[in-house]
Chain A
Amino acid sequence: MDAPTKTIKELSAEVVEEFAVFDQWLDKYEYIIDLGKSLPEILPSDKVDANLIAGCQSRVWLACRCENGRLWFTADSDAIITKGIISLLINVYDGQKAEEVAASDFGFIEEIGLKENLSPTRAGGLAAMILKIKTYAKEYAQG
């Protein structure tokens, strides 16, 4: 797989811009749902309990492999909004260097106000997804 041409910073700035276009949260959700629908299918071998993220109301699988120091993610969820959110994260972090992912503050998530517009259980799920990505990144950054 080719490394992304843009940095985490550039990609997350794009997300923030993208979200600024919509003034209604419902439109933002429409966008997230589309992201969810377009998320590439997860490998069946990755859709296993070991890759389930605890703390989400719906089931979320997130797998990560590292090639030449870069992280590649595959994910799935039985809820489409959740899938869209994870897709949003993957679009920014897929193919980035493990050290850079580990060092990222995930600030764009704050900036788009996603957390406030999620139910507390979903917001907890979002936090769990971010933690999972960070944990993968730290593991591979050290290894």
Chain B
Amino acid sequence: MDKKLAEIRKRVPALSLQVAGRDLVYLDNAATSQKPYSVLQMQTSLSEAASGNVHRAIHRLSVEATEAYEAGRAAVCRFINADSVILTSGATASLNLLAFCFAERYLGPGDKVLLTEAEHHSNLVPWQMACARKGAEVCFLPIDESGEPDLEVFARSLDSRVKLVALPHISNILGVVNPLEEMISIAHSRGIPVAVDGAQGIVHAKVDVQALDCDFYAFSGHKIYAPTGTGVLYGRRSLLEEMPPYMGGGDMVGHVSYGQTTYNELPLKFEAGTPNFTGAACFAPALTFASELREDAELQAYGRKITEYLMEALPTIDGLKLYGVPKDIGRKSGVFSMTIEGTHPSDLAQLLDQMGIAVRSGLMCAEPFVSKYSQTGMLRASLLPYNTMDEAEYFVQSLRRAVKMLR
């Protein structure tokens, strides 16, 4: 196992960096992933090669650019079992597109959009904005520290005014896989579509949008080894066709006259302007890497062991409280948020940085939820399959040491 992991880590150059004179222990993967050579090389080679723009010209360079872009899209489709996807600049862009266009078509005065209490701002603010525009209302399904939604409460929340449920597959704080299948089937039984913020879900869970039967699924490329500035919005065709476009401009048009415009077919209707085609092309190697790690049963089992270790070891630190502790530990993914009595998370993160460990501290783009539990923010460590048990153990030791220094 050690040898296999060492091999994998060698393919991700950032993992061999030194910080504060020590080997970097990168535990801020929920913020962004480190990229493998295969992705970095494709990025460089596409940048070094002469550029043609996509979907435009007849010349060779343009054709090659289009092919690379569409190969990226095809890789995404295979990865989540979708027939087609809209490519965007990230999860935030996907969710804003969705909120705007869905509201234009489907929301009116008195309607409601149901979110959970544990949303990332990117799946909260766009809905607030859209609902404010349409005279609709955002409401929230309660989530407690266990991180598990109460399905009965959920079912009861779905009155006839609710026009959409939008929730995370895995919250970036709680790290608990939401019971999407059950929730989607409950919502669908009332005729309510479900949008999934998959920014973390795509990284930690297997996603098959058809088996899930979700109506929308959004995620970023950079959290799953692709370059920054890449993102995806999957949407059910029948809904997307009804929705008006988001931005106007090149590539999203059918015919344009001075008086009016008809729109291109899906997905291009939602892809105005020159896209980040070099970035999107890198979805192919990025998702190949992700699949390789995901399909390795030994590596997966090892990852489960690290999660179990952390769930057991972290609470032995005096005053430490974990958020996202599901009854079934099988639902916990590699995202661990905590507060520790008598310490400020930014102090902890600062000391851990001096020990070579990268973790996140603060409100974690989920201010309402974090504020509910803490005055000062939380500390979060998050894993990817390239992390090792040694790193997890070193993190726990170092955290213990940091807490001691601060008290």
Query: Chain A residues in contact with chain B, CB under 8 A?
Result: 25-26, 29-30, 33, 57-58, 78-82, 117-119, 121-122
Contact = CB atoms under 8 A, between A and B. Distances in A.
Given A57-B362, A78-B375, A79-B376, A29 B344 contact: no
B376 A119 contact: no
Which 8 pairs, one residue from A and one from B, show the smallest C-beta to C-beta distance? A79-B344, A81-B347, A26-B354, A79-B347, A57-B346, A79-B346, A25-B354, A58-B346
A35 to B, nearest CB: 13
B353 interface: yes
A121 B347 CA distance: 12
Contacts of B129: none
Contact of A80 (B347, B353, B355): B347
B349 interface: yes
B405 to A, nearest CB: 6
A78 B353 contact: no
Interface string B337-349: 0000001101101
Given A33-B406, A78-B375, A80-B406, A26 B347 contact: no
A119 B344 CA distance: 15
A118 B353 CA distance: 9
A84 to B, nearest CB: 9
A26 B376 contact: no
Nearest to B351: A29
A123 B347 CA distance: 13
Interface in B328-367: 343-344, 346-347, 349-351, 353-355, 361-362
Q: Is the interface of A mostly helix, strand, loop or mixed?
A: helix
Given A33-B405, A57-B362, A58-B346, A119 B355 contact: no
A78 B376 CA distance: 8
A29 B405 CA distance: 9
B350 A78 contact: no
A117 B344 contact: no
A26 B398 CA distance: 12
B256 interface: no
Given A26-B351, A26-B355, A57-B346, 14 more contacts: A33-B347, A33-B406, A58-B347, A58-B376, A79-B344, A80-B343, A80-B344, A80-B347, A80-B406, A81-B347, A81-B350, A117-B354, A119-B349, A122-B346
Interface residues of B, number: 17
Interface of B: 20, 343-344, 346-347, 349-351, 353-355, 361-362, 375-376, 405-406
Nearest to B353: A119
Nearest to A30: B405
A33 B347 CA distance: 9
Contacts of A30: 405
For B349, B350, B376, which residue has the most chain A Cβ atoms within 10 angstroms? B350
A33 B404 CA distance: 11
B350 A29 contact: yes
A76 to B, nearest CB: 12
A79 to B, nearest CB: 4
A25 B350 CA distance: 11
A54 B111 CA distance: 38
For A25, A80, A117, which residue has the most chain B Cβ atoms within 10 angstroms? A80
B24 to A, nearest CB: 15
A29 B375 CA distance: 24
B398 to A, nearest CB: 10
11 contacts: A25-B354, A26-B354, A33-B405, A57-B362, A78-B376, A79-B346, A81-B344, A81-B350, A81-B351, A119-B353, A122-B346
Contacts of B353: 119
Contacts of B354: 25-26, 29, 117
